[in-house]
Amino acid sequence: MNEPNGQKISNSASAGTSAIAKPAGSSPTPGRPVVIRTLGLNKIYGRGDAATHALAGVDLMVYRSEFISIMGPSGSGKSTLFNMIGALDQPSSGRILIDEVDVAQLSADELAFLRCRKIGYIFQQYHLIAYLTALENVTTPMAFAGLPADRARKRGMELLDLVGLADRWDHRPIEMSGGQQQRVAIARALCNNPMILLADEPTANLDFATGQSVLEILQRINQERQVTVVCSTHDHRLLSMCERVFWVRDGEIERVAHRDEMTIKLGSIDE
Ligand SMILES: Nc1ncnc2c1ncn2[C@@H]1O[C@H](COP(=O)(O)OP(=O)(O)OP(=O)(O)O)[C@@H](O)[C@H]1O
Ligand SMILES: [Mg+2]
């Protein structure tokens, strides 16, 4: 059963039914601004017998400065949802509103502005440009946004400092560890002061300790800069950091839980 706010009523004891019956949001305040809203989102890849229904009617709402996680088994639709929210791909049907603006209504220029200025992306595979230094990787999107080179360099260094990599500014990706590359990717995602940070499995390729430091950086960015953070993940450590968790299965939101109602024991929450 769907609530108007997009949450599902579920009988699942593990998530706590009282949490699920509540409206979305940390302590849901009626006036709290919504930054991401999806309405009846469907995504079908391929056609005919080969069609895959990757998303099947997803309604969700994320409030400004929330930290949320999207969890679910492999193939459940997390990355597909991530790509839709990030306006990197188009839904087969349904609507996506970012900051209450329907993405489908945007012109090509407005869409480019959204992707460059409003949303920061962190990918599982980092997607750094191999022949650029850490600093150049971070400053490139600032150049696209029209920032003068000297200001971009200054800001780039500040961001590398934020993620603890100021001394590696002239290293190329091949000269950095996975965790360092992911931290450069975080700095790059922040370069144009996005209101939303989307992270698709940001710790999936990292060892436990390195993953922990990446998560702490994401948490700090959320708390200190009020950036809305949406992570798709298998990493249960994220559960202790986020306000709400959306569990996805077979392209649907199966349940939603608020942090207050989750008892978090590593490895004890079903996916
Ligand atoms: N470009 C594509 N073409 C066809 N099918 C796709 C495509 N991308 C994803 N799918 C299918 O859509 C479904 C959802 O995939 P998605 O990548 O969103 O899952 P996921 O939850 O991110 O999985 P994982 O945890 O393994 O990253 C899967 O069945 C997948 O095979
Ligand atoms: Mg994925």
Nearest CA to ligand 1 atom 17: 79
Ligand 1 pocket check: which of 76, 198, 200 to mutate, most ligand atoms within 8 Å of Cβ?
Answer: 76
In a domain, 176, yes or no: yes
In a domain, 166, yes or no: yes
251 CA from centroid of ligand 1 (Å): 10
Nearest CA to ligand 1 atom 6: 45
In a domain, 4, yes or no: no
76 CA from centroid of ligand 1 (Å): 7
Atom of ligand 1 at shortest distance to CA of 80? 18
In a domain, 270, yes or no: no
| DSSP notation for the chain | -B-TTSPBP---TTT-HHHHHSPSSSS--TTPPEEEEEEEEEEEES-GGG-EEEEEEEEEEEETT-EEEEE--TTSSHHHHHHHHTTSS--SEEEEEETTEEGGG--HHHHHHIIIIIEEEE-TT----TTS-HHHHHHHHHHHTT--HHHHHHHHHHHHHHTT-GGGTT--GGGS-HHHHHHHHHHHHTTT--SEEEEESTTTTS-HHHHHHHHHHHHHHHHHH--EEEEEES-GGGGGT-SEEEEEETTEEEEEEEGGG----TT-S--
What residues have their beta carbon closer than 5 A to ion ligand 2?
Answer: 78-79
CATH number for the domain that contains residue 90: 3.40.50.300
Question: Which pTM does this prediction carry?
Answer: 0.84
Nearest CA to ligand 1 atom 12: 54
Mean pLDDT of 42-68: 94
Mean pLDDT of 240-250: 92
Q: What residues make up the domain containing 113?
A: 17-23+32-261
> Which of the pair, 103 or 24, is modelled with greater confidence?
103
Number of domains in the chain: 1
In a domain, 2, yes or no: no
In a domain, 248, yes or no: yes
In a domain, 130, yes or no: yes
Residue-wise pLDDT for 115-154, tens only, equals 989 999 999 889 999 999 999 999 999 998 889 999 999 9
Atom of ligand 1 at shortest distance to CA of 46? 4
In a domain, 5, yes or no: no
